[in-house]
Amino acid sequence: MPERDEAAARLSRLREDIESHNYRYHVLDEPEVPDAEFDRLMRELQALEAQHPELVTPDSPTQRVGAAPLPEFGEVVHAVPMLSLGNAFSSAEVEAFDRRVRAGLGLTVVEYTGEPKLDGLAMSLLYQEGRLARAATRGDGTRGEDVTQNVRTIPSVPLCLRGQGYPRVLEVRAEVYMAKAAFEALNAEQSRKGAKTFANPRNAAAGSLRQLDPRITASRPLSVFCYGIGKVEGELPARHSAVLEALSEWGLRVSHEYRVLKGVADCLHYYEEMNRRRPMLPYELDGVVYKVDDIAAQRALGMLARAPRWAIAHKFAAEERETRVLAIQVHVGRTGALTPVARLEPVFVGGVMVQNATLHNQDEVERKDVRLGDTVVVRRAGEVIPEVVRVIPERRPAGAEPFRIPEHCPACGSAVVRKEGQAAARCSGALVCPAQRVQAILHFASRRALDIDGLGDKLVEQLVERGEIRDVADLYRLNEERLAALARMGPKSARNLVAAIEASKTTTLARFLYALGISDVGEATARSLAQHFGSLAAIMAADAEALMDVPDIGPVIAERVAAFFRDPRNVEVAERLRAAGVHWEETSPVQKGRLPLSGTGFVLTGTLASMSREEAKARLLALGAKVTSSVSAKTDYVVVGVDPGSKAVRARELGVPVLDEEGFLRLLAEHSGV
């Protein structure tokens, strides 16, 4: 079939040429041909593939175009957690970081890699045998969303790696962002169409990447910069700066602004240089990142619970602006905490229009002495949350009175109480307070809780105001007829919401606990409780002393969990939820007690050759063990792999038994019956 063979050869050449031009344009910023010639090649490829659909390959440039809409994003568990970074906001904090690093390594001077910190969205790109196999968002660092179809549409993400020598499995960490000019063009287009505009480039990038319809993502001008690695099967260079060079050689886009820096003085000079050049760069920066360049030294320093010891983000000073306080209102949160909020004359700060700023609590209001009518300086804390920095007292209007938190809840009229030693004042109305009900229901339905898609704030407010729901358990009494009667709620929307509520009945114990909104119980604490007790009944029956046996739970959180389940109103809601069909797979306390390593405490440090850290943890948990992040006198064993951190030293200081990998595998075999 000479015609087919000729077509296959031409298709191969076209794909190779187009990917080469893509690489030179999006990665090297050195285009070889004009846009018209590139478009001509792409049209020829599309036409030839249309004539020979059997010759279309998954990595063809034409396959970047968005696929059909997805019903939802799948979940991805990161083989190597995507940790966040510690922050430094001053040169003194950077110098303190450098001292800790030098002390940990026993060196007088350390070489770092300095990189720009883009204000974007972190993600993972997994390449297998050089082909893009999966892309995922960072999520909570442990679990993210599968956004492969969307990421395939980003021109600067190669579908296949270039050159040779790349590892068989290579997970790359990258930042998705939208350039300033692209953001302005997108907002202009949104305005022209009468669509909602985006507040800043980061929001635009995040919203564009998390579209269920990949065709929308394909239409948005997204870019990426790669900055690190996760899981790897194969060889990599010994220095981080060399890894960045290798990534660039393999066709991955790396910022040309990174530098190798010798000592802390070089770091601070790099910070000043990037801060000075920041307005001229085509993308938004919120700081720079310093990483120990020697990867063996990185391993020696190890990790904290949520961040590496060998890297830190040096944030740029937040932009500040003056404006006037128009009103001070009190917001009632889902736990009943009353937060004063300053309503401001609109002012543009840090890339967004700011109209509200938190005043935190009464103590903070008194410390800053913020009053109605004051001229204040505001900034976006960490470039995210607007806050009042200070008052300009010489511009205060005559007769301005000090602000006081009201004695009665503005939402329900119940008494406001403030416990000794606590900064927050709280409404005592609990479930009778509509403000708490709305927020509690929204939290219950949020994506990381019971994940009821389509249950937005306006709808919940309607349901509460009409008396359709008093608490979260009432959600499961809603039907299509009652929902369709609400404003802006047609039959199709009602049907979809009822289906989402029904789907939410199948969950996990950890998600259920988090969804209940127990004060200070976040996702990680909820998971620890679920793993330790195995059932809701066991948690409800536990007193504060028993709760403190859970790793990472101290006396304050233990008492809050115990107090929550001592309240018969909360117990009644939990029981009604179970009666409505909310369920999960439970581990019987009896079964859990019979597990061979039940109650035995382990800490893992270093790299194991036979399995990942997550797999080792999962094997231990399945045998009933407790796995914690720090060594204490209560630790039973410390498992030590290659390049252990300070945990191995701490174990020996405390006399805690240390297992090497061979001993660990032997222990697993003994207790697994294999």
Residues with catalytic annotation?
117
C-beta separation of 350 from 392 below 8 A: no
C-beta separation of 338 from 409 below 8 A: yes
Instruction: Give the pairing of strands 375-381 and 131-137.
Output: unpaired
What whole-number distance in Å separates Cα of residue 217 and Cα of residue 626? 42
Instruction: List, as one string, the DSSP characters of 560-624.
Output: HHHHHHHSHHHHHHHHHHHHTT-B-----HHHHHHSTTTT-EEEEESB-SSS-HHHHHHHHHHTT
Between the alpha carbon of residue 547 and those of residues 312, 456, 497, 544, 596, the distances in Å are: 34, 34, 36, 5, 22
294 secondary structure, DSSP code: B
Count other Cβ atoms within 10 Å, centred on residue 71: 6
Report how far Cα 665 is from the mean position of its chain's Cα atoms: 33
What whole-number distance in Å separates Cα of residue 457 and Cα of residue 144? 24
List of E strands, 25-120: 75-77, 86-88, 111-118
Burial of 555 (0-12, 13-18, 19+ CB in 10 A): exposed
Q: State the Cα angle at 509 between 508 and 511, rounded to 5°.
A: 65
């700060």: which residue's tokens? Answer: 349
Backbone angles phi, psi at 551, to 5 degrees: -55, 135
Residue type, 94: V
